[in-house]
Amino acid sequence: MTDVQLRAVTAAYGRHDVLDEVNLVVPEGTTTAVLGGSGSGKTTLLRIIAGFMQPRSGEAVIGGRTVAGPGVWVPPERRGVGYVRQEGGLFPHLSVAGNIAFGLPWPRRRHHDRVLELLDLVGLPAEVADRRPDQLSGGQQQRVALARALAPRPGLVLLDEPFSSLDTTLRATTRDATALALRATGATAVLVTHDQDEALSFADQVAILTSGRIRQAAAPRAIYRDPVDADVAQFLGDAVFVPGEAATDGCVTCPLGTLPVRGQSPRGAVDVMLRPEQITLTPAGTGQLEATVRHVSFFGHDALVELALGDGAAEQRIRARVVGLQPPEAGDRVGLDIVGPVRAFPSRPDRPGGGQRDESPVPSSA
C-alpha cells in the first residue's frame, strides 16, 4: 500500500521559508496534481517526498511508513519512489534500452524483455530501443524517462512538470500515455504543474499550492465548481466576478439577477463568482438579460466574448465562453441566460465593482 501523507510539513532554504505547514493526503493508486505558480514550492514538496531534502518540521509518510520526521530519516534509495524530471534527465551516451535498464535492479539490467515491456507500457515501439535520446522527439524522451522511473516497479512516482517543455499537441499525447502507463501499473503518483488544464485533466485530486500553503485539495470537478475562496477560483480557470448582496433562501441578487448559490453564502455584501461557460448567449430579446458585445477573442474550439451589461457608470463587464463555430461580433446586441448555481464570497474592498478580473496567475488554455 503506497499512499502518501504530508503532515504539517514546513521547509526552508536557509532563512527562506518555502513550505508552510503543508498537509496533503494522496490515496493509494491515485494521482494528485499539485498546481502552483512559479516559486510556490512545488519542486520542494516533491523533493521532501523523494528524500532529496529534509523538512524543517512535520512528517512525510509513504505507505504507512514515516520516511521523514522528528528523529526519522529514510534515504531516497530506500523509499521506493520513481522520479521524472522536467527535462527527462536521460543519459545522452546510453541507448534508450540502456537508459531504461539503468532503472532496473543490478541483476536484471540485461533483461531486454523487461525493457521492451516498459517501452510498450509507455506507448513506444520496440525499434527505438537502440536509439540514443537525441534521436527521439521531446515527447518520446519523456516517455523513456517515465519507463526508466517505472522500471523498478515503484509504488510511488513523482513527476516534476514532465510535459512543460513540449508543444501543445505533444504535451497532450504524452500526458495521456503517462496517465495510461501509471494506471496500468497501479502506482500512486504526484505530479507538480503550473498548467491548470493539465492538473484538471490528469489527476484524481488537484491540490492548489500558493506561497507554500495548500489552499484546497479536492477532485477536479469539485475544486473547479466549489473553490474555497476567490483566489482559488481565479487560480483554477477563468472566473467572472460581480458585486452582489446575499438574499434569503440561498440566493444572491446581483447585476445578473437573483441567482441560487452553491454551498454556504456569507451575509451582506458578496462577490458573486461564476465561470464564463455559465453565461450562454441567445438572440437579442430572448434572454433573461441583454448585453452589448464589446470584444471577441476567437480560439477556434471556443471564443471568449466580452460583454457590457447596462451602460454609463452602471456598466458591468463580464465574459462568456461560447462554442467557436459562430461567435457574435463586437457591437452586436445579445441576450444572456445564466446556467447553474454561482458561488458567493465575502466582498473584498480590493475588488471594487466586481466584474471580470484578469489577474489569474495560471492562464486557461484559451
Ligand X SMILES: Nc1ncnc2c1ncn2[C@@H]1O[C@H](COP(=O)(O)OP(=O)(O)OP(=O)(O)O)[C@@H](O)[C@H]1O
Q: Please provide the DSSP assignment of 150-195 as one string.
A: HTT--SEEEEESTTTTS-HHHHHHHHHHHHHHHHHHT-EEEEEES-
- Toward ligand X, which CB reaches closer, 39 or 340? 39
Q: Quick one: 330 exposed, middle or buried, by C-beta within 10 A (0-12, 13-18, 19+)?
A: exposed
Query: Please, which residues bridge with residue 158 across strands?
Result: 83, 190
Contact call for residue 41 and ligand X (CB under 6 A): yes
Minimum distance, C-beta of residue 54 to ligand X, in the bound complex (Å): 13
- Toward ligand X, which CB reaches closer, 14 or 107? 14
Minimum distance, C-beta of residue 211 to ligand X, in the bound complex (Å): 10
How many angstroms separate the CA atoms of 74 and 48, rounded? 11
Interaction mask 172-211, ligand X, x per CB under 6 A: ----------------------x-----------------
Contact call for residue 99 and ligand X (CB under 6 A): no
263: left (phi over 0), alpha (psi -120 to 50) or beta: left
Contact call for residue 15 and ligand X (CB under 6 A): no
- Toward ligand X, which CB reaches closer, 40 or 205? 40
Q: Angle at CA 336, nearest 5°, toward 333 and 302?
A: 85
How many angstroms separate the CA atoms of 291 and 315, rounded? 10
- Toward ligand X, which CB reaches closer, 235 or 241? 235
Contact call for residue 343 and ligand X (CB under 6 A): no
Residue 271: all three cell numbers together: 462577490
Contact call for residue 324 and ligand X (CB under 6 A): no
How many angstroms separate the CA atoms of 358 and 194, rounded? 17
Total residues at the site for ligand X (CB under 6 A)? 12
Of 40-48, 62-70, 101-109, 300-308: span binding ligand X (CB under 6 A): 40-48
Contact call for residue 40 and ligand X (CB under 6 A): yes
In the complex, which residues of this chain contact ligand X (CB under 6 A)?
13, 16, 18, 36, 38-44, 194
